[in-house]
Each structure stands twice: as structure tokens, then as C-alpha cells.
Structure 1
Amino acid sequence: MSLPGFSRPPGLPTMGEEIVDFLKFIVRPRPGPRLPPHRSGRGLWADFSLHAPWWRLLHWAVLLWTVNLFVFAPLALSAADASGAQHRLDIHNIPWLTALIWAPIVEELTFRYALRRPAMLWWFVPLMAAILVQGAGPTSALLAALAVLLALAPLWYPATHRWHAGWAASWRWRRWMRWAYPVLFHATALAFAAVHLYNFRLTSINLLLLPLLVLPQWMTGLVLGWVRVKRGIGAAMALHAIFNGGPLLLIGLILTFAPQLAAG
């Protein structure tokens, strides 16, 4: 008997099948098709749905935590020790709302929203990048909300009056984008990782060691990109929030029940 909320929906691939699909995808990224089950509906609205049970996203978060902890984090720590880089995180002053809400929304819209809507590369991504650089705050939150409203605005007009109707991709554009898509996908994962170099105080670091510092973020970016393409931007945001929430929960428990560990 399945527990409530844990029953596997009809058509949902097993975790093993999804891992195989992910590995094939990162070797040859392409803009589709989505994994089942996929709810039908108007494109933009459907894009913000999860299209997967919450516990499947939790499975991916656990897999990421495990791989990063035992494979990539040791490499990143070794690079940090060798270069003298120091992490900016203060466990006694963690921006919880930024990590759990602002970062999953703004970073996903910046780095991965255009993976299925490449026409937005020219205006939406630069706008979101400017908001990301500005940092969390009331102003950036308002600008992000306005950017999302602009992205969703076509849904509120009759099809004959939608301002994006003239942006329909030509056949030549579609062919070029399909050819360039692997570059676009992997570039977004690398850019996502590179942004997290800001988490470190860098002094006279060897440039060859910089990529090692953000290997966990690079791996996470690959998975989030795959989830965005296969499940939708809503699922990528949810997985991003779950992934950030795990370490924060662990830190909160340590500060509450074993503060001596944090002091050390």
C-alpha cells in the first residue's frame, strides 16, 4: 500500500530511468521532449507547474547532496585550501529568505527560463541578470515581479493581438538554435557556477583553480537545466529551493542543538 502523497503517478519514469535520461541529455542537450506525465494547458502557465511529485524532486536533491558532498565538495575544498580562498558564508547570519525564495526564482529565471524560450535571450535574460546583480531586496523583488508579468503578458490578450506574435521563430532560426542548443545549455550551467565565485573571498588565486571552487554549483546547474527542459521552470525553482533548504536545515539544527560545533 502506498502512503498518501507517495504513490507513483501513471507514466512517471522510475528514478533510474530519469538518471539515464539526464546522462543522455547532458551529452546531447536538446529542447525537448518533456518527460511524462505532462499536464496539458496553455504553454506559459503549464511551464510553472511541477509535472512531477514533490518526492521525486526530493530524490534529485538527495542525489545532488550526495554527489556534491562526496565527489565535488572535497575537490572544491582542496582548491580553496590551496589558493587561500575563503567562503563568505556566516552561519550565524544566513539570509534564509534569499536562499529559499529569492535565489530559486531569480536565478532560475535568469539562467534557465530561456532554455525552452530562446527568443527571450535578447531581452528577458539581460533584464533578469541586472536584477540578479543588484541582489535581494524590495526593489529587485519588484523588478523581478514586473519581468515575470511581462513574460506572461501574452496570455492575457487574444491570439490575434499578442505582442509576441511577430516573434515566431523562422525555420532558419529554429535550425540554428537546434544546432547551437548544446552550447547554450552548457554555457548556462557554466555561467550559473561562475556567479557563485562571488561566495568566496579571492586574493591571489591561481586561475586554473577557479573552476574547482564551483564544481558543486556546476553539477547542480546541469541537473536544474535538465529539470527545466524536461519538467518546466516551476519544477526547477522547486528543486532549487529544496536543494538550498537541506544544508540550511542542517545548519539550523546544529545552531539549535549543538552550537559548540558551530563555534569550533
Structure 2
Amino acid sequence: MVLKVIYELVKFLKKPDDSRIQLTPKEKIYFLLRLFVFNAVIFLAFLPLLVLVAEETESEFKRNTDYTEAIVAIGAILVMPVVEEFIFRYFLRYDRINPKLISLKKWNAVFPWLVYFSAITFGAIHLFNFSFSSNSWLLLPALVVPQFITGLVITFLRVRLNFYYGILYHMLWNFSFFMVIPFLVDLIPE
């Protein structure tokens, strides 16, 4: 079943279109979880590079000691996914756009560009979570590629299922990032 979801994702990425798939709520959750597993495997492949980047950069959360871990977690898990989904993906449905602004034909022509622009800006905006030394700029792709891929996955969910499943996925992703990744990083020998 995971392969079928990956196939649908690849098909979407080859030729993004603004169409939904009809699934029951239970099927949508399974769909989301399968994408989550796929995205997690890709992310884990980048983990050694991300650890290297972490050694060369300083996270905004480490620099700013004004926030407790609970406030950071609430912001990152509950607040930021909603804000980021509104900014980067809410507009990715023709039914959210006034038809007087753009025709369906023009929308279909520009839609693939919007999908990739959304994912690229989503990845790039997360660079502001870090400070870089002059040597660490070469490591930027290690930060951007996983975020870009996650942005594409969330965009796919947003378009194929709906906006709320994109938010749910984003919250789940951030939750796992804050709860699991620190544990995995501690397991890597120095």
C-alpha cells in the first residue's frame, strides 16, 4: 500500500494538478500515515548530514533562552503548522481563488509552478531557524532538501485530500521532529 501512495505522489510531482481523491476519513488517515513513513525514511537518510549541519550551525531555539521547551514545543507543534500552511498552501486550490482573478485554464497552467514555488519557499524559510558561519553555507542543501521534500509531501496531501490534512500532517511531522530526532541524534557516536 505504501508503494501505491508513493506512486500517486510521484505522478503528482511529474504533473501537478488541482484534483482531489475521494477517500473515507479512515482511508485518508492511512494515506497520510503511509506518506509519513515514506517521508521519515527519506529524512533519516539525510540525518548524518543534518547532524553535521547541527555541529556547524546554531539553532534559533538554542540561541534564544527566553523560551521554555514547552513554549517552543507548543509553538512548533500547534501554532506554526497552522500559520505555515495558511501562508504556503492555503491558496493551492482553485476553489479558494476568485474566478474573476484567474481563469481555470490559466490556473491549470500556473498550478505546477505554484506547487514547486510553495515547496521551495517552505524549505528556504526554515533556513532562518539557524545561524551560519562562513564555512557552513556549503551545508545549506542538507537543510533545504529535507524541508523541500516535506513541503512537496504536505502540498500533495493538501491538494489531494484537503487543507486540514496538510495541517494535521505538519503537526505530526513537527511533533516527531521534536520528540524523536533528539533521541536519534544522541544515539549517533561522536
- TM category, shorter: 0.7 to 0.9
Query: 2:77 maps to what in 1?
Result: 100
In the alignment, the residues of structure 2 paired with residue 206 and residue 31 of structure 1 have an alpha-carbon distance, to the nearest angstrom, of 38
Query: 2:65 maps to what in 1?
Result: none
- 1:103-122 equivalence runs, <5 A: 103-117=80-94, 120=97
Q: Is it true that 1:73 corresponds to 2:47 in the alignment?
A: yes
- Whichever residue aligns with residue 60 of structure 1, its letter is L
What is the deviation of 1:55?
4.1
Q: Which ranges in structure 2 are unaligned for 5 or more consecutive residues?
A: 63-67
Query: 1:19 maps to what in 2?
Result: 6
Q: Does structure 2 conserve the Cα–Cα contact (< 8 Å) formed by 1:52 and 1:231? A: no
Pairing partner for 2:60 from 76, 88, 104: 88
User: Compared with structure 1, are the counterparts of its residues 191 and 66 closer, same or farther at alpha carbon in structure 2 (3 Å cutoff)?
Assistant: same
Q: Does structure 2 conserve the Cα–Cα contact (< 8 Å) formed by 1:86 and 1:201? A: yes
Paired residue total? 181
User: Compared with structure 1, are the counterparts of its residues 251 and 85 closer, same or farther at alpha carbon in structure 2 (3 Å cutoff)?
Assistant: closer
- 1:166-181 equivalence runs, <5 A: 167-169=98-100, 173-181=103-111
Q: Is the radius of gyration larger for structure 1 or structure 2? A: 1
- Deviation string, structure 1 residues 186-238 (Cα, Å, up to 9, x no partner): 00000000110011112325766433322111110000000000000011011
- 1:14-53 equivalence runs, <5 A: 14-32=1-19, 34-37=20-23, 52-53=27-28
Q: Does structure 2 conserve the Cα–Cα contact (< 8 Å) formed by 1:100 and 1:245? A: yes
Please state which structure has a larger fraction of its residues in helix: 2
User: Compared with structure 1, are the counterparts of its residues 207 and 28 closer, same or farther at alpha carbon in structure 2 (3 Å cutoff)?
Assistant: farther
Q: Which ranges in structure 1 are unaligned for 5 or more consecutive residues?
A: 1-13, 39-49, 121-166, 255-259
User: Compared with structure 1, are the counterparts of its residues 168 and 251 closer, same or farther at alpha carbon in structure 2 (3 Å cutoff)?
Assistant: closer
Pairing partner for 1:64 from 23, 39, 44: 39
- Deviation string, structure 1 residues 154-211 (Cα, Å, up to 9, x no partner): xxxxxxxxxxxxx3247x7222221121111100000000110011112325766433
In the alignment, the residues of structure 1 paired with residue 26 and residue 91 of structure 2 have an alpha-carbon distance, to the nearest angstrom, of 18
Q: Does structure 2 conserve the Cα–Cα contact (< 8 Å) formed by 1:73 and 1:215? A: no
What is the deviation of 1:53?
4.2
Q: When the two structures are superposed, what TM-score results if normalisation uses the length of structure 1?
A: 0.59
Q: Does structure 2 conserve the Cα–Cα contact (< 8 Å) formed by 1:22 and 1:226? A: yes
User: Compared with structure 1, are the counterparts of its residues 211 and 250 closer, same or farther at alpha carbon in structure 2 (3 Å cutoff)?
Assistant: closer
- Whichever residue aligns with residue 87 of structure 1, its letter is S
- % same residue: 28
- Whichever residue aligns with residue 168 of structure 1, its letter is P
In the alignment, the residues of structure 1 paired with residue 176 and residue 17 of structure 2 have an alpha-carbon distance, to the nearest angstrom, of 30
- Whichever residue aligns with residue 242 of structure 1, its letter is L
What is the deviation of 1:118?
7.5
